[in-house]
Amino acid sequence: MSVHTDVKRISVPQLMACKGQRKIASLTAYNAPIARLLDDYLDMILVGDSTAMVGYALPNTLTITARQMAFHAAAVVRATQHACVIVDMPFGSYQESPEQAFRNCSMAMSSSGADGIKMEGGAALAPTVRFLVDRGIPVLAHVGLMPQYVNTMGGFKAQGTTSEAAERILKDAVAHEQAGAFGVVVEGVVEDLAREITARLSIPTIGIGASPDCDGQVLVTEDILGLTGTRIPKFARQFADVGAVIRGAVEEYARGVREGSFPTMDNCFGVKKK
């Protein structure tokens, strides 16, 4: 059953109002068929730059461009009516200056119709967040494990494992709240840090590999559907084996084609029904 009671899309202020009231449910989508299936059940759909790895089989997220992200976001917006759609800004599209960030974020939003953007970064990015918010761009910040920093972090590993690191990540999150971010994705940090960030902020935290106490949760859809073809990460859960369903259907189709049971005359044009 759909969780939405009206046809209007959930707005960023409505997401913010969820803090302390109810959890925010979110997943990624990169294309129309998946977005259409998710829309009835989620508050927020993230057009994540994880599409670089999940959709394009690249080793990390670093090579996808803002134009590609805008294309994916446009497909997701066209296929949905309810969920708030947030587009992830990719590596190199916002770090240079607030002006560069505004150019790329406004392009991504205006060419796709997305409701806001997400960007990875610590407190050093806060002035850019402020610049964007002041110019009408809702920003979802992203702290902790930031995949765009894979080369400086030396891999995808849990963050905040020392008290100094935890203190820094907490400061990053607070800086983004003060700069006007509407929420913060907290990824891959030790659980008590995610809990502390959630308690300290008045804006929602969206956890992934964080804590059940976060104000919401986001996962990569393909991970929960068994579509990634790799080991499920510790922080995710496979809720269905859609991969097995697809393999079964394709096997049956291929057998039908080879044996001659598909197509039949019913699938042909210009054949009179008896």
Residues at the interface with ligand KIV (CB under 6 A)? 28, 46, 48-50, 88, 185, 187, 208, 218, 220
What residues does 5 pair with on adjacent strands? none
The catalytic residue among 120, 177, 187, 196 is 187
Query: How far is it, in rounded angstroms, from Cα 165 to Cα 237?
Result: 27
Contacts of 111 (CB under 8 A, 6+ apart): 70, 74
Classify residue 29 as left (phi > 0), alpha (psi -120 to 50) or beta. beta
For the question of residue 187 being annotated catalytic, the response is yes
Kindly state the greatest CA–CA separation across the chain: 78
Nearer to ligand KIV, 50 or 104 (CB): 50
Query: How far is it, in rounded angstroms, from Cα 205 to Cα 192?
Result: 13
- Contact between residue 221 and residue 237 where contact means Cβ atoms under 8 Å apart: no
- Contact between residue 184 and residue 140 where contact means Cβ atoms under 8 Å apart: yes
**208 three-state secondary structure:** strand
